[in-house]
Amino acid sequence: MSNSTISHEFDVIIVGSGGAGLTLALSLPNHFKIAILAKSHLNDASTYYAQGGVAAVLDKTDSIENHINDTMIAGSHLCELNAVKHTVEGGQASIDFLLSQGVQFTLDEKEQLHLTREGGHSHRRIIHAADATGKAISTKLIERAREHQNIEIFEHYIAIDLITSDKLKIDGPKRAIGLYAFNEATETVHTFLAPFTALACGGAMRAYLHSSNPDIATGDGIAMAFRAGCRVANMEFNQFHPTCLYHPQARSFLITEAMRGEGAYLRLPDGERFMLRFDERAELAPRDVVARAIDFEIKRLGIRYVWLDITHQSADFIQEHFPTLYEHLLTFGIDITQDMIPVVPAAHYTCGGVMVDQHSQTDLLGLYAIGETAYTGLHGANRMASNSLLECFVYGMSAAKHIQMQFKEHTLLPLIPSWDDSQVTHPDEDVVILQNWDELRQTMWNYVGIVRTTKRLERALHRIEMLKNEINEYYQDYKVSKNLIELRNLVMVSEMIVQCALQRKESRGLHFTLDYPDQNQTLERTVLIPPNFQVKKESIHP
């Protein structure tokens, strides 16, 4: 089949099936015709794997001001205050939304929501479902989405590129009118049309050799939006989770920060609690501080991991607070009531992304970005634990309200050309993709990791540009595949990460460079502007 002839029309297309995308879908009216595109299974999203919880001010001893202040400190004051305020003030509504969908959180002895504490938070404000909060949220939201007849779900559909009105020479301001997506089962490309499209497809931390993220985190939304003409910001701030399980049989298994929140210690092989040497908050310091400390000790001592130790707590306490973790680690022969856990930092969260306003709208009319795909201004130079799930729900609901307000003004655009692959052939050697993928991730890990230098970044950029040229040439010559689509996006966002890192001549938050160890007096975001960027009258993030 040389040309795609399968076309779908909707009111809203949502790319991604994590907390952000599902919140948007479930917050829109039932008469909206909605498509959810999932690159893999519906629950194969970062939300599902989130162990910690949702940060929200619910305790009487806490306050909105405290949460805002904690977020600004964790983000090295690079957070945008309006975005922080908007997110934090949406905490109660987010929890109410989740409860209304049937999510069951852990309760305390008074049958109230149990609140725990994580790194960077001055108060207990983490609402959780034991130590598998993401799974509880994802499972329930997926269940609700399947119940809605107005929501059509497309699993194993991989978005390729957005369709914009200017490419079709349609009069009026440039806007997104749909996208092309690859059906992995049939190996055909489908056309999806809608006046509104939302990119909620996660971050880009699969760019690194070691990552806590599921395989879907290849920066698809960020790359597609940039190609379509949207600005991208702060891609240099990549959060490395301090405690990923180090075990030959474990793959990307995260040890929740809530464990340190409940008193776990980080230890060296000789038993020393080394975090006391790096920060007065010790194990409760923000993630960037903890990750750098672990990285420093691993390199100083020539070891492969450090130990996380909660054995000083009672077995009943551990099994009650971390039941999922306890059972899972037993399968690796680790009994956390008696044994310390070997841990190592791993790429975890993309703090930058596609620039959006408080409605989640990008620079392109009709296009929204939510969750880890978006740069809202909330995280600044470092994400504080459990603020990310909160951001998904707040901005998902904000996007739903804005789409409802704008919806009556637009109609679907007809006569969109089908995908044409008549001039390309099936690849003869897929090993090229595998080789480029491995080389890209190794380059990012070695040169663009927790500690950086200008020389390393320049070397990385040179190699990434060569890889990008090879991949783009391959993309032009051969039929698309899931691996090729992901690799094309991943090399693009890797280049963005390095470009932003080279622009920032200071060390702040997650970006630490030996060449510029101090912080600048001025607070500035790094912004990448695509060649086809068009300024709107009401530009976001002035």
Return the closest-CA partner of residue 336 out of 312, 365, 358, 304.
312
Q: What is the pLDDT of residue 127?
A: 96
Q: Answer for the pair 2, 376: CB distance below 8 angstroms, yes or no.
A: no
Supply the mean pLDDT for the chain. 92
Q: What is the pLDDT of residue 172?
A: 81
Q: Token digits for 409?
A: 């003004």
Cα of 86 vs its chain's centroid, Å: 19
pLDDT, tens digit, for every residue of 378-405?
A: 999 999 889 999 999 999 999 999 999 9
Q: What is the pLDDT of residue 1?
A: 38
Return the closest-CA partner of residue 264 out of 337, 320, 215, 205.
337
10-residue mean pLDDT profile of the chain (542 residues): values are: 71 97 98 96 90 92 97 96 98 97 94 89 93 93 98 98 86 90 95 96 92 92 98 96 87 83 95 96 88 89 94 96 94 96 93 98 97 98 93 98 84 67 70 89 91 95 96 89 95 98 96 96 96 71 58
Give catalytic residue positions.
287
> What is the DSSP code string of 402-461?
HHHHHHTT------PPPPB-TT-B--S-THHHHHHHHHHHHHHHHHSSSSB-HHHHHHHH
Q: What is the DSSP letter of 113?
A: B
pLDDT, tens digit, for every residue of 179-206?
A: 999 999 999 999 999 999 999 999 999 9
Q: Answer for the pair 78, 525: CB distance below 8 angstroms, yes or no.
A: yes
The pTM of the whole model exceeds 0.75 = yes
Q: What is the DSSP letter of 54?
A: E
Q: What is the pLDDT of residue 143?
A: 98
**Region of residue 370 (left: phi > 0; alpha: psi -120 to 50; beta: else):** beta
Q: What is the pLDDT of residue 288?
A: 79
**Region of residue 407 (left: phi > 0; alpha: psi -120 to 50; beta: else):** alpha
Radius of gyration of the chain (CA): 22
State whether residue 39 is helix, strand or coil.
coil
Q: What is the pLDDT of residue 210?
A: 81
Domains of the chain, earliest start first? 8-237+351-407 (3.50.50.60), 242-348 (3.90.700.10), 431-520 (1.20.58.100)
Q: What is the pLDDT of residue 521?
A: 94
Q: What is the DSSP letter of 283?
A: G
Residue whose tokens read 């949406």: 90
Distances (CA, A) of 71 to 75, 135, 377: 6, 25, 11
CB-CB neighbours of 106 under 10 Å: 18
**Region of residue 77 (left: phi > 0; alpha: psi -120 to 50; beta: else):** left
